[in-house]
Amino acid sequence: MKVSEAMTGSPVAVPAETPVRDVLALLETMEIRHLPVVDDRGVLLGLVSERDLHSFYAPRAELAGDWAEQARAKLNEPVSRIMTRRPTVVGDDTPLTTAIQILLREKVSAVPVVHNDKVVGIVSYVDLLRLLHTMLERT
């Protein structure tokens, strides 16, 4: 089975200069957990996840008193500041078992899918659970 059979195709992607505020709004509105970050040609630069955002906003003891004010200021920073740069990627024709091995080995919840350096999809643990559920219902 190939990645193309399980991935979410044509994902929404954002430019590197997109403010964190807009990324948060997209994730919430679209009910997704990952956004590819691309250049003006659609070439993958990075991936931003909910986990990246949690780490970015995690309060630190030394900032406790000013945390809320500093968190608001961070909303205007570019997503390039918090994205995972050069994430491991797979092709749409990559065996699905290879994508699963990457998720497990790297302890990530999604991997971008590229074709000719352009993002064509994302395969996540949710996609894999959905596929497993469909397969189990057929038996």
pLDDT (tens digit per residue) in 90-114: 999 999 999 999 999 999 999 999 9
Cβ-proximal residues to 104 (8 Å cutoff; 6+ apart), any chain: none
H-helix or E-strand containing 49?
strand 44-49
Give me the phi and psi of 36, to 5 degrees please.
-70, 145
Identify the residue whose tokens are 């699905």: 96
Q: Is the pLDDT of residue 127 over 70?
A: yes
Q: Which residue ranges form the domains of the chain, and what is each CATH number?
A: 3-138 (3.10.580.10)
Min mean pLDDT across 3-17, 56-70, 124-138 is at 56-70
Q: Mean pLDDT over residues 28-55, rounded?
A: 92
Q: Are strands 84-85 and 90-91 parallel, antiparallel or unpaired?
A: unpaired
Q: What percent of the chain has pLDDT over 90?
A: 77
Which of 139, 128, 119 has the alpha carbon at shortest distance from 47?
A: 119
Count of C-beta atoms within a 10 Å radius of residue 107: 6
For residue 85, what are the β-bridge partners?
46
